[in-house]
Amino acid sequence: MTERGVLVDHTTIYRWVQKYAPELDKQTRWYRQVPDWQASFWRVDETYIRVGGRWCYLYRAITAGGQTLDFYLSPKRNVAAAKRFLAKAFKSNASAGYPRVINTDKAPSLARAIAKLKSEGICPPTVEHRQVKYPNNILEGDHGRLKRVPRAERRV
Q: What confidence score (pLDDT) does residue 21 get?
A: 87
Q: How many helices (H) and strands (E) does the chain have?
A: 6, 5
Q: Write down the pTM of the prediction.
A: 0.70
Domains and CATH numbers, the chain: 36-154 (3.30.420.10)
- Are residues 63 and 81 in contact, defined by beta-carbon separation less than 8 angstroms? no
**What is the pLDDT at residue 2?**
74
The pLDDT of residue 156: 43
Largest CA distance in the chain: 63
Q: What pLDDT is attached to residue 38?
A: 59
The answer to whether the beta carbons of residues 108 and 136 sit under 8 Å apart is no
Q: Which one, of 100, 104, 67, 64, lies nearest residue 85 by Cα?
A: 104
Q: Extract the residue ranges of the chain whose pLDDT is less than 50.
A: 154, 156
